[in-house]
Each structure stands twice: as structure tokens, then as C-alpha cells.
Amino acid sequence: MIKLKNREKNNLLILIVFTIATFFYFPRIILAKTTADSNINANVNAATANVNVNNNVDQTKKQAEIQQKQEQLNSVRTQINSYEKRSDILEQKTDTIQRLLGALDNEIKEAEEALQKTQREIDGVQRSLNDKENEIVVKEDDIEKRKKFLEEYMRKLDSLDKKSMVEVILEKPSFAEYFREMEDVVVFQEHLWELLASLNTDRNNLLKEKTAIEETKNEQMALYSMQDEQRIELDRDKKDREDLLAETQLEQNKIGDLVEKGTTVANRLTAEITALQSCGTKLDFGQALTEAKVVAQLTGVRAAFLLGVLKVESNMGNNVGGGTYKTDMNPAQWDRFKNICSEIGYEPSDKPVSRKPCYRNSKGDCTGWGGAMGPAQFMPSTWMGYKAEVAKVTGHNPPDPWNLRDALTAMGLKLAKVSGVTSHDRQAEHKAASIYLAGGNWERFGWYGDRVLKFADAYEGQVQGN
């Protein structure tokens, strides 16, 4: 009975201890655990809040940078529009000057032809004048000869008049012969005077003709002088307009250079804005490095070079786009995009693509399209051109442009098309990177190749060190 009571006492003691522990010890443990859990949750929430705050800060900075670059882009495009309007005015001015020069050439040609015609007429008049002068000389010479004959006969006649009748009778056998000789002298004298008068008349007529010819020549010479002055004036006018044309074309060339430089700047700003507008899921650099090494083996393209392009295109696959196909993609690409998504099993509206940039046109409206897919930023039409080859290389069928390996493989295949890339030639890589951005216009986008190779150089050590 006593033992039983002792056992009961022990049980009662145990019960009392358990009761005390239940009410005093275990609540402390539970409270401590609850407090710890609360602290953990608070720390997680605080960390999450910090991440959200940092993300918000980063996003704010990104939006501010986008806004700044957009303003720069708008300013550049406004300047380009101004240059293009000036270029149009200069082009119209050039066309007008060239038309005037064409008309002046015709006038100068006509003036030269008129001068040549007048010169031919002057030459003809001069020949006529020379002929008349020769005729006058001949007439004057004939007159002079006739005068000498006449003077000789006059002297003979005078000598006969001075002889006495006795002298005449003694010299001549008969009077009849004397009178016959006298009659011949008189007749010859009269004939000679008539001939001399006729020669003088001819000479006077020739002198009149000569005077008329000289007047005609003087008129032709005056006409030639006027025509020559006109031609000289036309030549001077042509030279002035040629100088004006040269100045206008020089200004056109300068404006063209400014437009080209402005376009290069606008394209660079657009590319930077597009990159800043993208947003995506965080990827580990180690993962990107591993995949780049694998793809380097598959395509022959240097791993560091692949990482350089990946960094510029999508920040190592973290910025694959903040847009949607219906908002940012050219409708001409929609069917290809939906087929790509359908084959893989994606809902097209759920897959991110790059946002469309804002190219300001002459009216100030935004133009341009985005729509690039995945880490490699391939457009749907471009992806379709590489899809089969990517599937063959990776074994992924269908390949996924949002999958890092598939995207890097497509990138590698595209870069490898430039001769020298698989030999790791730096100039070839620079060209391939620029083509990756701009296609046939790659020579104007050397800055892109510079940027890619800068990152590639930075990654080369990490590629070799792993």
C-alpha cells in the first residue's frame, strides 16, 4: 500500500514537472523559434525589398539614359532633316545652273558660228577689194602709158607747127603727103584723148567701187567686233556660272558628308537605345562561358568572340527583350514568329522580343521595328535561315532561339560565314561583328566591331583560365 502510494507520488511528481515544462519551457522554445522564423522572414523581405529597390533604381537609371539618348537621337535626326532639305535646295540650284550653262553653251556656239561667218564675209570683201585695187593699178599704169604717148605726139605736132612752109616743102615730096601726115596726127590725137578720157572714167569708177567695198569691209569689221564682244561676254558669264556650280557642288558634298556622319551617329544611338530597352532573365556568366566553349567547338568560332557579341547583343543573354510581337515586331514577321513559337510549344504573346526603336521621321513621328529574339537577337526571318543548320549541329529539333546554346550556335554559324573568323583573324572578326549588326552596310558600323572585340579581349583570359 505504501509502495503504491510512493509510485503514485512519483507519477504525480512527473506530472507536475511535465505540467510546469509545458507551461513554462516549451512556450519559450516555440516563442524563440517563432521569433527566429520572423527574423528570417523579415531578413528575406528586407533583402527582397532591397533587390526591388535596386532594380527600381537600375530601371530608373536605365529609363533616364534611354530618355537622354532618345533626345540626342531626335536632335541628330532633326539636324539630318535640316541638312537633307538644304541638300535638296542645292540640288535644285545645281540643276538650274547646269541648264543655264547648257543654254550658254548653245549661245556661245551660235556666236562662234556667227563670228566665223562674218570672218568669211570679211575675207571675201577683202579679196574683192584687193582685186579692185589691182584693177585700179592696171588702169593707172595704162593711163600713164597713154599719157606718155600723147605727150610724144604732142611734141611732134608742136614741132610741125613751128616749121615754115619752105621747110615742110623741102622735107616732103608733095603737099598732099604733108597734109595727109598732118591729118593722121590730128586723128590720132583725137583718138588718144578719147582713150585717155575712157581710162580716166574707168579709173574713177574703180575708185568708187573700191570705196564701196571699203565701206562694206568696215561694216563687216564693226559687226565682227560686236560679235566678238558678245562672245567674250558669254564666255565670262559661263566662267562665272561654272564657278558658282563648283561652289554649289562643293557645298553639296559637305552636306552629304554631314548627312552620312549624322546617320552613323543616329544608327549608333538607335542600337544603344534598343539595347537599353531590352530586359530579360538573369543568366550566370559561368553558364554563358560553358556554353560558349561548347559552341566554339561546334562552329570553330572563338569562345571569347562569341561572348563579346553576346555581351553587346543581350548582355550575356540577360536582355532578350522587353517587347511583344504584336506591339514591336513588323507584321510581315508575325507568321514566321508564330510558327517558331508553335513548333517549340510557346505561346507567342508570352515570348519577349526586342522593343521597337523610335526613329523620328520628318513629321516627328516614331518609325522603325524591333522583334529580335533571344540571346543572339535574331529576327524571325533570319532565324528561319539558320534553323535547320542549328538543329543539325546541336541535335535540338526544333531549335529554340531563347535557348542559350541554340542561340549561340546560330550566332556562331552566322559569324563563321565571314572568311577568316574560324582562323581567329582579328580583322575578320571585326568585319563579322559589324555585319552581324548591319549586314551589307557593315563598313559604316565599325564602332560596333570595336565594342565587341573590346569585350572579347576582356573575356579571353577567363576563357583560357577555365
* Whether residues 41 and 117 fall in one domain: no
**Do 93 and 198 fall within a single domain?**
yes
How many domains does the chain contain in total? 3
Residue 38 is inside which H or E element, if any?
Answer: helix 26-162
Domain membership flag for residue 76: no
Residues 428 and 337 reside in one and the same domain: yes
CATH number assigned to the domain comprising residue 187 = 1.10.287.1700
Position 374 in a domain: yes
Indicate if 54 and 88 belong to the same structural domain. Answer: no
Q: What is the pLDDT of residue 38?
A: 47
**258 shares its domain with 295:** no
Q: What are phi and psi of 366, to 5 degrees?
A: -80, 135
Residues 128 and 31 both lie in one domain: no
318 and 232 fall within a common domain: no
Burial level of 88, CB count in 10 A (0-12/13-18/19+)?
exposed
- 131 and 246 part of one domain: yes
Amino acid in position 9: K
Closest residue by Cα to residue 263 from 42, 77, 413, 48 = 77
- Flag whether 176 is in a domain: yes
What pLDDT score does 14 carry?
Answer: 52
**Where among 270, 299, 321 does a domain terminate?**
270
pLDDT at position 10: 54
The H-assigned helical ranges of 1-25 are 2-24
Q: Give the cell for residue 384.
A: 528561319
Say if residue 216 is exposed, middle or buried (CB neighbours under 10 Å; 0-12, 13-18, 19+).
middle
The answer to whether position 75 is within a domain reads no
pLDDT at 167: 56
**pLDDT for the residue 86:** 84
Same-domain status, 234 and 308: no
Give the number of residues written for the chain: 466
Decide if 128 is inside a domain.
yes
Res 12: pLDDT: 54
Report whether 350 contacts 384 (CB < 8 A): no
Given this model, what pLDDT does residue 92 score? Answer: 86
Task: Please tell me the predicted confidence (pLDDT) of residue 423.
Answer: 96
CATH, residue 331: 1.10.530
- 311 and 442, same domain (yes or no): yes
Domain identity same for 96 and 207: yes
Q: Which residues contact 342 (CB under 8 A, 6 or more apart)?
A: 348
Q: Which domain holds residue 309?
A: 278-465
In this prediction, residue 280 carries a pLDDT of 43
Q: Are residues 247 and 303 in the same domain?
A: no
Give the pTM: 0.44
User: Which residues in the chain come in under a pLDDT of 70?
Assistant: 1-59, 62-63, 66, 139-140, 143, 146-147, 149-150, 153-154, 156-192, 195, 267, 270-284, 317-319, 358-367, 466
